[in-house]
Amino acid sequence: MNSWIFLFLAAILSGFALIEVPLAGTFLASLAPFTTVVGVLTVLVFSLVLIYKGVRYLFNK
């Protein structure tokens, strides 16, 4: 199994963490929309990469 897959899964989990991080009431509250957008983009990009690699693997066999 390719070890990069676990890195992609870790990136997806970190994207979910960025989406759910509670910044209200801290000095970072102004960054909340930015962290949400970065989190959503991270989850989307790495999920699409995993889907692409999975489909490529299926059709190469």
pLDDT single digits (tens) 5-61: 899 999 999 999 999 999 999 999 999 999 999 999 999 999 999 999 999 989 987
What are the structural domain ranges in the chain?
A: 4-60
Q: How confident is the model at residue 1 (pLDDT cuts 50, 70, 90)?
A: low
Other CB atoms within 10 A of residue 46 CB = 19
Q: Which residue has the tokens 């693997």?
A: 57
Residue carrying structure tokens 């801290």 = 26
**What's the DSSP call for residue 29?**
G
Contact (Cβ atoms closer than 8 angstroms) between residue 23 and residue 32: yes
Predicted model pTM: 0.85
